[in-house]
Amino acid sequence: MEGPKLDVEVAGIRFLNPLILASGVADETGASMAEAVRMGAGGVVTKSLSLEPREGHPNPCVVEFPYGILNAMGLPNPGVRGYSDEVEEYLSTTRGSAPIIASVFGSSIEEYAMAAGAVKDLGVHAVEINGSCPNARGLGLQFGQDPLVIEDLVKEVKATVPIPVFFKLTPACSSIVDLAQAAQMGGADGLVAVNTMPAMKIDVRTRMPVLTNVTGGLSGPALRPVGVRCVYQIANSGKVHLPIIGAGGISTWEDALEYIMAGASAVQIGTAVTWGNLDVFSKIKEGMMTYMIEERIGRISDMVGSAKGVRS
């Protein structure tokens, strides 16, 4: 008998398994991203790229908690052009075994579209619009909290690139379904939920916020229940029919399955690779396989959105 199958198709893109390296984590270089694939990732997302290089925020830009990480990297990146060698190295190393999604951002809708247009030429398989980074004033989050802006933004990017476009959502909103619906109206091919949650840390000795940027984004286990809720609400809204990639605090196979059962077709993993724990990918794959054998499930897609409450 054949074993269970882990491959998935999301917005027309095939992944050998549903585990994707999240944007901004271990993806400064083509070699780093290729390493994630060697360690079992089914795909990768680049760090968020802008037209021009950005240094990001001065240190401290990371605070560790027992239950997660607070970061205010501030979208450092070498710019789309500066990053082209990295994509090239990734593509030549992985030889099509794992799709690469380019995350883009800008300080205006036009800039987003131009960045998307520029990454398309690098040979990536899809674009992910980062409309949800809490860490840079005037960039990201203020685009991602207003449904009207989201719709225009997605429309512009869609008009610029022929490849699938994902919109990455913030959990910091009063209605995640409204934001998801706006992305759908704009023509998005899929959603990513969620980005980090705005948060902060104050040192009581100096009475100072530790992050230079004052606030940052919370990721890791603390974020997981929020992310699962967001994915579930979108999938069960009856209004949004786009494939969803779940993200937020996934570090075990149970975590990944929670997202899938909430309605995600695939998941992204970021913070769990802290300390170089890239074996998180193979461990989750193994755990999923065992579960699927025990529960007699043939394909990942058989589980997507299978969680239903008494009152959903």
Partner 1 sequence: MRAPGEMEMVKVLKVIKESSSISTVLFSPVHIGRWSGLVPGQFLMVWIPGTDEVPMSVSFLKREPFRMGMTVQNIGEATQALCSLKQGDWIGIRGPYGYGFNLPSNVDKDLIIGVSGGVGAASTILAMEWARSEDFRTVNLVGARDRSLLVFRDRWRSISDEVRFSTDDGSFGHKGLVGDLLNMELLAMSDHERQRTMVFTCGPEIMMVQVKRLLDQFGVEGQFSLERFMKCGIGLCDSCSASGKRVCMDGPVFSGDAISLLRDFGRSHRDRSGRPLPLKECVR
Task: Candidates 74, 78, 106, 248: give the one binding ligand FMN (CB under 6 A).
Answer: 248
Cα separation, 284 vs 7, whole angstroms: 14
- Cis-peptide, bond into residue 60, ω within 30° of zero: yes
278 binds ligand FMN (CB under 6 A): no
Task: Candidates 32, 84, 170, 195: give the one binding ligand FMN (CB under 6 A).
Answer: 195
Are the beta carbons of 132 and 170 closer than 8 angstroms?
A: yes
75 binds ligand FMN (CB under 6 A): yes
Cα separation, 218 vs 172, whole angstroms: 11
Contacts of 305 (CB under 8 A, 6+ apart): 235, 236, 261, 262, 263
Are the beta carbons of 253 and 283 closer than 8 angstroms?
A: yes
Applying the rule CB under 8 A, the residues between 13 and 52 that interact with partner 1 are 24-29, 31-32, 34-35, 47
Q: Which is nearer to partner 1, 90 or 232 (CB)?
A: 90
Choose among 187, 157, 181, 158: nearest CA to 169.
181
Task: Candidates 7, 12, 82, 202: give the one binding partner 1 (CB under 8 A).
Answer: 82
Cα separation, 282 vs 253, whole angstroms: 10
Return the range that interacts with ligand FMN (CB under 6 A); candidates 32-40, 51-59, 154-162, 219-227. Answer: 219-227
Burial, 279: exposed, middle or buried (Cβ in 10 Å; 0-12, 13-18, 19+)? Answer: exposed
Q: How far is the CB of 23 from ligand FMN (least distance, A)?
A: 4
174 binds partner 1 (CB under 8 A): no
Q: Which two tokens stand for residue 299?
A: 């394909």
133 is a catalytic site residue: yes
Cα separation, 101 vs 104, whole angstroms: 10
23 binds ligand FMN (CB under 6 A): yes
Contacts of 66 (CB under 8 A, 6+ apart): none
Cα separation, 131 vs 141, whole angstroms: 6
Q: How far is the CB of 176 from partner 1 (least distance, A)?
A: 25
70 binds ligand FMN (CB under 6 A): no
Helix, strand, coil share (%) of the chain residues, nearest 5: 35, 20, 40
Could you say which of partner 1, ligand FMN, none residue 288 binds, taking C-beta under 5 to 8 angstroms by partner kind? none
275 binds partner 1 (CB under 8 A): yes
Q: Mark 203-242 with x for binding to partner 1 (rule: CB under 8 A) and - for no binding.
A: x-xx-x-x--------------------------------
Task: Candidates 11, 17, 44, 54: give the one binding partner 1 (CB under 8 A).
Answer: 54
244 binds ligand FMN (CB under 6 A): no
Task: Candidates 133, 176, 260, 300: give the one binding ligand FMN (CB under 6 A).
Answer: 133
> Residue numbers of the site for partner 1 (CB under 8 A)?
24-29, 31-32, 34-35, 47, 53-56, 58-66, 69, 71, 73, 76-79, 82-83, 203, 205-206, 208, 210, 270-271, 273-277
Catalytic residues: 133
